Amino acid sequence: MESIRVYAPATVANVACGFDIFGFAVNRPGDEVVLTKKSSPGIVINEITGDDGRLPKDVAKNTAGIAIVKYLEFIGHSDQGFELSLHKDMPLGSGLGSSAASAVAGVFAANELMGKPLSQKDLLPFAMEGERVACGSAHADNVGPSLLGGFVVIRSYEPLDIIQLPTPNGLYASIVHPQIEVNTKDARRILEREITLGKTITQMGNVAGLVAGLLMSDYALIGRSLVDVIVEPARSILIPQFQEVKEAALRSGALGCSISGSGPSLFALSKGEETANQVAKAMSAAFNSVGIGSEAYVSQINHQGPMIR
């Protein structure tokens, strides 16, 4: 192949109690990369759409571009040139892994065009370099699920250890993105640097409970475990109407509701598509009641990850 078009899905990271260690992929929204080989060395970003002109075409500062650069260096083909077009189909700063999806689509496309010398899982460190450019931290809770699909656990960063968990077939996510923006760097800056033992024990119990709930398809346990006593209290102040939206989701039958990534998007998990649709409508209505417009998405957990179009 000389050219390829790849779509990579959005993700929900943290998943309430799992700051920087949990994430899952959804069917939409997502980002698309068109990558074409060229005869001369170097990567050229020809076009970026859907970003209102905000994203850099400088390869070293672009999440998709730098991921491909690091990948080519690793496989010993830095002389291979590419032309890249990036099509953003999700809001920037949405808390839905926008930078991760671009990085994943880019490095997945490059690996396909180079004859797949690396496994899909081995592409993760290069996608993480895209995250480093975007927010200063090479975290994997967005790029992991976007690249591998499904619900992932980042057990360790040194060494990198990623675990994929099964999820119940009836588990649906409702995601609502209010038309406001939260900067990831700002959202990380406001977090407490030291946590009390009591909060740590509570959070550990919820992490263990969520894993057990997913493994056993125990929806009630999943719901009881979607509680974040460390990050959500700090970040929720950055999201107008947060408490009202969360309460609307729970009243409509959601198992639990929290912030997607660093926000401002909120996610809720529900049993069944019908309930998930009701939850999404209630969350959007709660934002709209104070004049905040929003986009809503309802999806099962996406177990495929990136796909060739």
Which residues are annotated as catalytic?
A: 131, 184
Residues 17 and 225: beta-carbon distance below 8 Å? yes
